[in-house]
Amino acid sequence: MSLIVQKYGGTSMGSPERIREVARRVARFAREGHQLVVVPSAMAGETNRLLALAREVHPEPSPRELDVIASTGEQVSIGLLALALQRQGLEARSYTGWQVPILTDAAYAKARILHIEDSRMRADLAAGRVVIVAGFQGIDELNNITTLGRGGSDTTGVALAAALKADECQIYTDVDGVYTTDPRIVPEARRLSTITFEEMLELASLGSKVLQIRSVEFAGKYKVKLRVLSSFTDVESTDMGTLITFEEEENMEQAIISGIAFNRDEAKITVLGVPDRPGIAFAILDPIAQANIDVDMIIQNASIEGLTDFSFTVHRNEYKRAMQILESKVQPAIGARGIVGDDRIAKVSLVGIGMRTHAGIASKMFGTLAREGVNIQMISTSEIKTSVVVDEKYMELAVRVLHREFALDKEPTLERMTP
């Protein structure tokens, strides 16, 4: 008998029939003898509807009240799922975040989990009940309801698995695992049976939407075994999805590249004619950091006559605000010649632990893009990934040709170990 935490996303909970399907799936595991803790999201679109209602009432609602309102979507889901399970003949009990309780800090809309009290859940599990816990929410030390931000139900599921020392945390979505890239871009994309935590963390941070990055970070910190599955397969299916592991398998046929991630949500900013002197990077980026704007890729050109150009990327939603800060505060302070930006870029990234031990991956990537006429604007590398910034209109082309060049549609074989 295993203790399993199952998390179901909004599409899985999208209608009464979908909720009944989730209940049938949970019931199957329970009847096999497993202890189950289930974390459902709000029904698809419900959180957006609730937030829109709040803004109809007040154009600038207080963060505290927004969290009170947003958290009710999950409360509806847990109650409905409990009823569906009871109709299946199972004992089920639902809990909101504050009833568990899940203690968080006081950062409304982006709270972080500090502690989970597991005694009530363990008592229910010992009594043979299915425990249902609302995702996305918690309570701070002053008993204010808090929410964890977008994708917070994934984080709740992983955090509960860590607190309960569960055998596995299963994340059910509308896809049946982690693929070598998005099948909507490359129909030949292949589902991976396993992927390492490091690779999944890179893919999540680089734009893959399968798992929310905070949940992957949490899983890594507490060594929670994760599995990604689809809630749209047959209830009796034995499909195992994709297992995210924490140790690299000693396998000579390990793929050099596991996947290709892409991100359309970035913008590039270049500060022109910057004095090439110590502290200039701090002078440019500190005002950006003070405005709580995250910077991703950074590049500085070679100095010519004591001047250089300094480029970096930010999220596209922060592009205009970052440009305003640079033009009003930074440019006058450092005497830069000008500031230019481009909010029509995309980042394409190769990810794979095999890159640690195989040279030539980056050059092969660059050569492939060059043959297709795709210009590389920026480059960033780590031990297991290489990212490039390209014009947004070339993004899908870049993903397709790289997927083909690295033969990601095929299972790794010994013959393909040499890049």
* CB of 218 closer than 8 Å to CB of 162: yes
Residue ranges of the domains in the chain?
3-247, 249-419
- Give the SS3 label for residue 395: helix
Distance CA 38, CA 23 (A): 10
CATH architecture of 249-419: 2-Layer Sandwich (3.30)
**Can you tell me which residue has the tokens 């399968």?**
210
Q: Is the pLDDT of residue 25 over 80?
A: yes
- DSSP labels, 29-45: HHHTT-EEEEEEPPPTT
93-111 confidence digits (pLDDT tens): 999 999 999 999 999 999 9
Structure-model confidence comparison of residues 300 and 79, the more confident one: 79
Q: Select from 9, 22, 4, 19 the least CA-distant residue to 153.
A: 9
* pLDDT interval class at 247 (50, 70, 90): low
Radius of gyration (C-alpha) of the chain in whole angstroms: 24
Q: Select from 55, 65, 90, 92 the least CA-distant residue to 77.
A: 92
The dotted CATH code for 3-247 is 3.40.1160.10
317-350 confidence digits (pLDDT tens): 999 999 999 999 999 999 999 999 999 999 999 9
Sign of CA dihedral 401, 405, 407, 408: negative
Helix (H), strand (E) at residue 204: helix 197-205
* pLDDT interval class at 254 (50, 70, 90): low
User: Which tokens belong to 323?
Assistant: 């440009």
* CB of 311 closer than 8 Å to CB of 269: yes
Residue 327: Cβ within 10 Å count: 13
* CB of 69 closer than 8 Å to CB of 104: no
CA–centroid distance for 131 within its chain = 25
| DSSP designation for 355 | G
Distance CA 281, CA 409 (A): 42
Residue 339: Cβ within 10 Å count: 18
User: Which tokens belong to 306?
Assistant: 């004591």
Q: Select from 245, 242, 246 the least CA-distant residue to 228.
A: 242
Side-chain half-sphere CA neighbours of 15 within 13 A: 3
- pLDDT for 86: 98
Question: In this structure, which amino acid lies at residue 164?
Answer: L
289-316 confidence digits (pLDDT tens): 999 999 999 999 877 888 999 999 999 9
Distance CA 148, CA 108 (A): 8
Domains 3-247 and 249-419 share a fold: no
